[in-house]
Structure 1
Amino acid sequence: MSTKTTTSKDSRWRPLIWILPASVILLGLAVLGAQWLRGMDGVQAWMERYPGATPLPEASPEGFPAWLGWQHFLNAFLMVLIIRTGWLVRTTARPKANWTRNNKGPIKTKRPPKKISMDLWLHYVLDVLWILNGVIFVILLIVSGRWVRVVPTSWEVFPNAASAALQYLSLNWPHEDSWVNYNSLQVLTYFVVIFIASPLAAITGLRMSNIWPEQAKRLNKAYPVELARAIHFPVMLFFVLFIVVHVTLVFTTGALQNLNYMYAAQNSASSWLGFWMFAASLVVMVAGWFLSRPIFTSPIANTFGRVSR
């Protein structure tokens, strides 16, 4: 039994044996190709026309308010745990604990209670908190007028985004001041994350959840669960890729200044306040990762249903 379990766990990481080396080789070739392109006269002229950023509308707000820092932390905290629980749901054959709803809460259904794993229960809870945080974030973006920083307002954002991507890939970072304006590649990326990938994750997750009406035949035919599953997992991989690239660029394009932007809400390249706030957030994330086990989450889950092992 233990041998089979160990083999099953090892098989999860087996693809990394060839994925990681292949990724490093492809990345190296891409960097060399980008540097070769930047040496061409026509490409240099094109980059002078499209330096990598488009100007914002007049009177656009600058800086990073404190609420944006808190939203950023909560989003990162919840996303890390959502990815963890989602991966466990996908790869764990025999969960350590299960949960059954008591059908006495605000959401009641006529269907009999269905037993689900504690990992899936926690995944649902984190999803709800993440969606709530996202709705608040979008509302604050609109009310504060900061939506113009993450929503394209000109078609020139596309050639400028390509220019910024070429600059990043050639390891010659684009000149920018995120306190005032994101470069066009950042604008498009944040737009996709906020207004496309996040709603897709929520909508497909809802379709796969237990609260979806199973008896709605027309609705289920128009939106089959197989389609939701085919979209949900790639969206998770997109978020993982975004987090890896985002964190890498934060630390390679001026770590102290970027951390002060996001965590301390101050425009400083010398203060260490943002770094220590970031370090504290990492401690909270590690603690959340450790405490997200059934032995710690069961008392909470028992208030909404019954936990069984």
Structure 2
Amino acid sequence: APTNEDNVCRGVFRLPLCVDTASHLDDFQRLLIIRAAHPEYFPDAVCQWVKQHSRDLDLQNCCLSIESMAVLDQNIFGILVIEPSTTSKISYSGTILSHKAKQTITSTAKEKNIPLLLVSIKNDNEEELETAVNDTMNQNGWLIIQNLHLASKAMLKNLFKILKYAAKMQASQKEERQYCVWLTSEHGASIPKDFLAHLKKVSWHFLLMMNKDRKKLSLNDWIYIDHLPQLLLSAITSAMDQINEETCSRVKKMPTTIQRLYFGICVLYGVLKTQWIFPKTGLNHLMDMSPVQLHQVH
């Protein structure tokens, strides 16, 4: 069996000594052999594999910057930022950020010299909201409306009308549109569908990723809750266990690329199964994938 000193090799555990380690095997092939020969080491190997390939992802170059995101189409009234719940008592596995979207938006506005106003949803403060929207529109700046999930149905209806009118007025102005309303809400808010249709929806994870000042985050921006890779691992292993022997036999006869795609589907399934711990971004529910779907997807 592999020792602690021999465990790490190219991001995953070394193969057992009974296997020719000089052969040209990649990390994916090593994972398959470890699962078959030494399943007791497979959990840690998968965790390392996921970590390794997550670090290789270069998302900065394929995602819009925050200021680019704020350039909205005429029929879009603002950007809805889904934040994690502050009242949830559920215990998860892993480390997550409590970093608020407000911090990233504020720092970006300051960097770009964009006028910024801030208002929170409270009881009977619709006049304050309307004034803030009008002031932001006149200044051609940004407005953050916090805690949208606390708004009543009547307030949401009025806010919809206010933002609709403001967007129409801004579109009629000749100057370049810089005006943008950012609305923050915890997931699960009962926002009317017609309102949602006019909002660009993003997750707080995206804003954090685009934040150039991530190194300045303090320890207060982090919440430690056990060990996330183990949760991801259990979901991936569950997906692989649901694949029947007949399907595995067929996959083994296919080209290496197909085998990798098939295993990748199991990894994707594991990632999706862990999404329930994250704020939902536009999707109300995440459908479970059945064993039949896993068998058919190859």
Query: RCO greater where, 1 or 2, for CA within 8 Å and sep 6 or more?
Result: 1
Greater fraction strand: 2
Larger Rg: 2
TM-score by length of 1: 0.19
Structure that is richer in helix per residue? 1
